[in-house]
Amino acid sequence: ETPGERVFEARESICPFCGVGCGLSYDPKSGKATGWRAPVNTRGELCPKGVAAFDVVDHPDRLTAPLVRDGDGLREATWEEAFERIETAFGEIRDRDGPDALFFFASSNCTNEENYVFQKLARLLGTNNVDNCARLCHSSTVAAMQERFGAGAMTNSLVDLTEADAYFVVGANPAENHPIIFQSYLAPAIRDGTTLIHVDPRENATTKLAAHHLPVRPGYDIPLLNAMAKVLVEEGLTDDAFLEERVSGVDAFVAALDGVDVDANAELAGVDPGELRAAARAYASVERAAIFTGMGTSQHHCGTDNVHALLNLALLTGNVGKRGSGVNPLRGQNNVQGAGDVGALPNVLPGYAPVTDVDARERLAREWGVEPPAVPGLTEVEATHAFGGGVRGAFVFGENPVVTEPNANRVAEKFDSLDFLAVHDLFLTETAAFADVVLPGSAWAERGGTVTNTDRQVQRMRPNADPPGDAREDLAVLCELGRRLTGLDAQFDYDSPEQVFEEIARVTPQYAGMSYAGLGTGSQRWPFPEGATEGVDVLHRERFASGDRCAALRVVEHVDPADAVDDDHLVLTTGRVLQHFNSGALTRRSGLLTRLRSEDALQIHPDDAVERGIDDGVRVRVANDRGSVTVVADVTPAVRRGTVFATFHYAEPLANALTGDALDPVSKIPEYKHSAVRVTVENAE
């Protein structure tokens, strides 16, 4: 070290990508990212994305100074000019149209402290218009689990889940999307005898270890899950003692099953009735069975009801409140759980108290000096739809909605219609291209704070390098914006992430007993009540988190997908691959990851390909009324007939140009997983 050089406290940080939360260390001297033995990746292993995480930090495309719009282009500016432009524009919009004319995109890829300060900024400005991309992945899961169980999170811990006798994985592909969970926890248990049942329209890396595969038609999970419930009741596979003690609404639910025909439902869901029955028996006839659920379940306009149908199975079989069981959403980004925990949502405050809860608002007012607004704000897609109308200005903090939101051509038009847009990011993303002001962000290796992983473990990130050029640490930028936009200097006077974390613990009951120092290089799991010595691994043991002894069974009816499909159309369903992440804004800039997978491909069944004269490897046009893209065809029996699969990692081809924006009425999650498309050889139309 040279005199005056900043000395960093320690090297241990957390991977910036998925919700597994692997330990990752950055060495600026060697320029390498390496794993360390953190609470989740206990052997220090990383998947390819973790290995490539350094590519993001040191990338030549990094923004190193603020940019401001000057005519049709963006030019470099000082921080003062950039802050002043935001202050002036947001002030004018707020004075003219009110605070609800502003919208704030928080980020599930940023720390708890950053998200907390960000939602505080929005609320102290007078609006609950703050949301994060959890809206787009698991908002339906959280809505259903919060309502039925009182907590919208994994019911169990990864460690106790290794004790399960059966895994029921629905709409998720953990072998590729949560690779360290799969290789460190699930796969060893499966090799030791745990039965894997996989529900997915595609055979993928997860299916390879499955004893049962149900290749469900996208959009038809409810007929499948209701049929499984009927099998459990018909064959006496329910846990009657658990139903007696912990479940309400049993008689009405069982009566409603009279209307369910297992064979007819299996046919509707596109699966073999015998396999469906076998899967139901495999799930219900063991002592401990755990459900894992992913975006294949949640991203439908009936996403909340899909999850309700899953919760019914867990309740019927008594698979809640004990080790190796439960319902376990696999979260996408490294802090998607935490962003919701600390209140970066339009309908709830930190700790998930509704904004309509007078007592909760008054408690927060005692901490903030100002009461947050009582009217729920807009969700992410609702807000984009209101751009140019009721919403005139937006701040996007570390997200890329122009690529990640459905009906992307419409989204781009909407962003163009804003009076003012500020974007804070590492790169000039597709969204930043629409901005009036772009602020350079700090990468994972340049920031401190905490993130909360998929099994509710809070872990610390630590800075190991300074942001490049004039870029600053994100938390400092947000605090400066908070002071300037609200005028409430004392509310944004934080010296460190630790100070923010202390405030989070004061206002977020789930985090009440945690301390920043106590996290060390380990983790603390929520709920961690005040005075406790450790967090709770298995939720809902004696009572549900709602406080009730019983949770109710829920009759759930199928509704058809929003897009009608005729003989000319196939169903596009989207998902992820091992090598890339979300909008690809980070991973498409990695040399390693683009070498591993350089472009997208459309999986199409051989029979569908033959009907359309499509050979493997040719370019095809995929189109509907919302948009049109071209992509290489991957002709494979891995995807079910009538369904095609593409990833959402690329700006070109942009899969979300084709996806629809029909929203689930409860959670407002869009229906990404079922879009009617025509597929033809390129230039054949």
What does the binding site for ligand SF4 look like in residue numbers (CB under 6 A)? Answer: 15, 17-18, 20-22, 46-47, 49-50, 179-180
Whole-number CA gyration radius for the chain: 24
Nearer to ligand SF4, 184 or 347 (CB): 184
3-state secondary structure 593-657: HHHHCCCCEEEECHHHHHHCCCCCCCEEEEEECCEEEEEEEEECCCECCCEEEEECCCCCCCHHH
Backbone angles phi, psi at 329, to 5 degrees: -70, 130
Q: Quote the least distance from Cβ 406 to ligand SF4, whole Å.
A: 24
Of 201 and 398, the one with the shorter C-beta distance to ligand SF4 is 398
Q: Which is nearer to ligand SF4, 49 or 363 (CB)?
A: 49
Q: Give me the residue whose beta carbon is nearest to ligand SF4.
A: 50
Report in angstroms how near the CB of residue 647 gets to ligand SF4 at its nearest: 15
Measured from the CB atom, is 50 or 393 closer to ligand SF4? 50
CB of 36 to ligand SF4, least distance (A): 11
Task: Please report, as a single letter, which amino acid is at residue 90.
Answer: F
**Nearest distance in Å: CB 107, ligand SF4:** 16
Decide if 306 contacts 222 (C-beta within 8 A).
yes
- Reading the block at residue 603, the tokens are 């999986």
Where is 288: in which H helix or E strand?
none
Q: Which is nearer to ligand SF4, 180 or 290 (CB)?
A: 180
Q: 13 or 299, CB closer to ligand SF4?
A: 13
User: Residue 432 is which amino acid?
Assistant: A
- Of 90 and 182, nearer to ligand SF4 (C-beta) is 182
Q: Which is nearer to ligand SF4, 18 or 355 (CB)?
A: 18
Query: CA 45 → CA 36, 41, 51, 211, distances in Å?
Result: 7, 6, 9, 27
Residue 554: partners with Cβ closer than 8 Å, 6 or more residues away: 148, 249, 253, 308, 309, 311, 312
Q: How far is the CB of 59 from ligand SF4 (least distance, A)?
A: 17
| The residue to which tokens 């003012």 are assigned | 420
Contact 289, 166 (CB under 8 A): yes
Helices (H) and strands (E) in the chain, counts: 27, 26
- Classify the C-alpha dihedral 540-544-549-555 as positive or negative: negative
Q: How far is the CB of 57 from ligand SF4 (least distance, A)?
A: 14
Tokens standing for 677?
A: 């498309």
CB 335 within 8 A of CB 451: yes
Shortest Å, Cβ 588 to ligand SF4: 15
In degrees and rounded to multiples of 5, residue 275 shows phi and psi of -65, -40
Closest approach of ligand SF4 to the CB of residue 443, in Å: 14
Nearer to ligand SF4, 22 or 74 (CB): 22
Whether the Cβ atoms of residue 642 and residue 605 lie closer than 8 Å to each other = yes
Could you say which DSSP state residue 423 is in? Answer: E
- Measured from the CB atom, is 46 or 136 closer to ligand SF4? 46
Rounded Cα distance between 501 and 143, Å, is 26
